[in-house]
Structure 1
């Protein structure tokens, strides 16, 4: 069982750091890819002669593919073992990157992004699972501050790198840059990750997969397309999966009985809200800089740096305070800071001071860094080793669904109102999260 560590934690085992470093390198390809593409949407509409509604599927198709594969991660890990599954997922993501670079029209690019999403959908929850199993629940705050490093570095490097690529080279290089990261990550994984034995007699919950994957996909598609029919159909499938999974217990595709574990339930709800405000803002901000302030892709990327710098600077402190004081108060402080720092964007116009907005982004990024670190580890406190893969899936699905729904809702608001109104919705997502933080574990109970 995973227990929170003591106030003055012992040094982290070198083997844990080696495992974390190895996985972080491979995960950077997934995180960088998303942030690189986010600033390229405007340029892709022009270069591929497509509408914004069509090019939006370059991102939406990727996310939907992730939803199809995330639920099977626990089963696949049991069948293949963590190391083999990590290498397989990294290889699929590499293949998708190559196919994206070879695409000749919007349709082929969207299909290639789906291939990428299949690999990324396995890698993201598996990354958390492998690290949590390696740590045994010790020093969760500091370890999580390390393994979520790609999340902090991606928004810093990705938009700038994407802007530079579009300024000096063809858009295909947006995806070719993934190749060295994938190859390096695969080489390190072959050398450093322990070879765990697959479990025997583990059966895939086919009925559960047939219910949950299309169910979530239909909900996200309906929100993106502003169509209630797939949303209702998707919710019906999700409801059927919940009934099915509760009957099957540990044999279900996702063990929903883990929701009895309050840290996982509250952490997942907060992950949903954090995903909505994080991904939603990353959708709005580049468009605001480009459409309202007249910036190109590179300029928009550079203007996003303060937010990521704030996230990067606050991570180490957030990790230490989480280990010392527990996730509850650290997460609460983070969400309050994010809420306050986003308010200036609710009043944005074409003449709003750059200094004010960049300062707000710096503080907002610091708040996100403080909020996300305790959420990642808190969900796993008190879980057994075999329960971690299912908890990883629940946490990742919550964050990704929140991100997709947040983006879809903000896109609809933006189509019918101003950027200021859309940002107020993002502020609302964050404000709702603050009181939920009180359900997280408090000060650790030391063994």
Structure 2
């Protein structure tokens, strides 16, 4: 390849940016919806007169739907074409969003969230496939950094947008806002993405689908029930985890027999994909699991509003915004094994501060720590994803991105469940207040439970002795600190697989013939 061709390949032209805009818009909708709903859970409790365990299923149902549909995305992309499938996913997600706003009961809302998740589950793996093919071998790092924009806007914009919409309008608008955005994204995709070229497709792996999708859904259902049941020995928890786990294990053994399995585990023969996937999985368990509890600390221990809690989380996204473009450029030139460890040190440093929180820890210190964590996050997630996909053949990219996305969903669900169970278990150790019972469940209430309730409900705070609130909040702060310490330990564990990330320059195979100058636009099925 001539120097002029290399220079042209390195340049991110308008045609590629036009395609990137479609993917980013769709990913923003999908990711933003998770964090927007997270701050609305207390509102759902009062609106539908439901327990926290019940309203938590508005998030869990979405995640289960994501995990169920992701395995089939790689096959569907080959069969129907990425443009058609991406537009269909946008329609499904937008329709689900509109229906969520019409829900009259918590059961309806959960059902509509499943529909929303079926569309949202396809948006991210399809987006990664489209972006990776668009990038070519010389600019995949920078294009993946662009795909990282939604990862930033989720933590920054989700809690802020959700808190603001609930404060000034109603909870319905956290779903209604997706309708016009979805319509714009659909029109944009129809205009920007090249026309699909129909090609003969491999047959659908029905046997694999009957094992993997129900297996993942059942396993994650069991995992997600842990915060509600509080123990893995609960029948609902261990039976679904066992059946789901056995189905997934059966699929693993089966998947090496058919020529075209639903999920191509043979790709793990690629060392870079295996190491990067393991690194990403452990990182997601720690960062996403504990990360969901940061806003809860501000809401429940510090008594902040949903909008303020969202604003306090913004430094994390701002930090990532600084380093992500730099990390994207470096990932194209320097092996990620030489840069990711330094970014991980920043995450661990910022994370450690939260293991020491109490009821009056300085917001300056906490926001500074979140900013440092964001700096590390910007140099960790997308470079690892780049390493995972960079050395795959062009026709394996859709399958590889599907694998990465499934691991992300499983890691996020496991992390959230583990951290929630630890926090709940810690809080349950608080002193029981004689005669105080939960009006919804009839169970005895602890000092920590009453204090947190008083923070969320100012009317209740006037009925509770101040010294009881102080004791309860001090105990709750210690519980959060202990839970964050577990997350901190898992972050340290991530250093083990990260040590095996490539430290030498990788040869990319995203473009099958790297001796030819890359096309200015992507070739889609």
- Give the TM-score band, short-chain normalised: over 0.9
- Corresponding position of 1:353: 362
- Corresponding position of 2:98: 98
TM-score by length of 1: 0.95
- Corresponding position of 2:192: 192
**C-alpha distance in 1, partners of 2:123/2:241?**
27
- Corresponding position of 2:334: 325
Q: Describe the SS at the equivalent of 1:200.
A: coil
Question: Does 1:376 find its partner at 2:437?
Answer: no
Q: Describe the SS at the equivalent of 2:378.
A: helix
- Corresponding position of 1:153: 153
Question: Does 1:233 find its partner at 2:294?
Answer: no
- Corresponding position of 1:432: 493
Q: Is the 8 A contact 1:6 1:323 kept in 2?
A: no
Q: Which entry has the higher C-alpha Rg, 1 or 2?
A: 2
TM-superposed CA distance for 1:138, in Å, is 2.2
TM-superposed CA distance for 1:6, in Å, is 7.8
TM-superposed CA distance for 1:163, in Å, is 0.7
TM-superposed CA distance for 1:412, in Å, is 0.4
TM-superposed CA distance for 1:393, in Å, is 0.6
TM-superposed CA distance for 1:13, in Å, is 3.5
TM-superposed CA distance for 1:377, in Å, is 0.9
- Corresponding position of 1:246: 256
Range with greater deviation from structure 2 (384-393 or 145-154): 145-154
TM-superposed CA distance for 1:7, in Å, is 11
Q: Describe the SS at the equivalent of 1:246.
A: coil
Range with greater deviation from structure 2 (217-226 or 370-379): 217-226
Q: Describe the SS at the equivalent of 1:308.
A: helix
**C-alpha distance in 2, partners of 1:220/1:95?**
25
Alignment: residue pair count: 442
TM-superposed CA distance for 1:247, in Å, is 1.4
Q: Describe the SS at the equivalent of 1:138.
A: coil
Q: Describe the SS at the equivalent of 2:339.
A: helix
**C-alpha distance in 2, partners of 1:90/1:278?**
28
Aligned-pair Cα RMSD in Å: 1.7
Q: Is the 8 A contact 1:25 1:184 kept in 2?
A: no
- Corresponding position of 2:115: 115
**C-alpha distance in 2, partners of 1:182/1:340?**
38
- Corresponding position of 2:305: 296
Q: Where do residues 30-179 of structure 1 align in structure 2 (5 Å cutoff)?
A: 30-179=30-179
**C-alpha distance in 2, partners of 1:130/1:10?**
18
TM-superposed CA distance for 1:199, in Å, is 2.9
Superposed CA offset, 1:327-351 (max 9, x none): 1122212222111210111121112
Call closer, same or farther: CA 1:8–1:184 in 2, change over 3 Å. closer
TM-superposed CA distance for 1:176, in Å, is 0.7
- Corresponding position of 1:283: 292
**C-alpha distance in 2, partners of 1:22/1:247?**
37
TM-superposed CA distance for 1:9, in Å, is 6.8
Q: Is the 8 A contact 1:8 1:324 kept in 2?
A: no
Q: Describe the SS at the equivalent of 2:200.
A: coil
**C-alpha distance in 2, partners of 1:259/1:420?**
37
Call closer, same or farther: CA 1:8–1:326 in 2, change over 3 Å. farther
Q: Is the 8 A contact 2:340 2:379 kept in 1?
A: yes
TM-superposed CA distance for 1:390, in Å, is 0.7
Q: Is the 8 A contact 1:6 1:324 kept in 2?
A: no
**C-alpha distance in 2, partners of 1:9/1:362?**
34
**C-alpha distance in 2, partners of 1:445/1:287?**
41
TM-score by length of 2: 0.82
Runs of 5+ in structure 2 lacking a partner? 227-236, 427-478, 508-513, 515-525
**C-alpha distance in 2, partners of 1:224/1:428?**
22
Q: Give structure 1 regions of 4+ aligned residues with deviation exceeding 4 angstroms.
A: 5-9
**C-alpha distance in 2, partners of 1:387/1:176?**
37
**C-alpha distance in 1, partners of 2:334/2:163?**
40
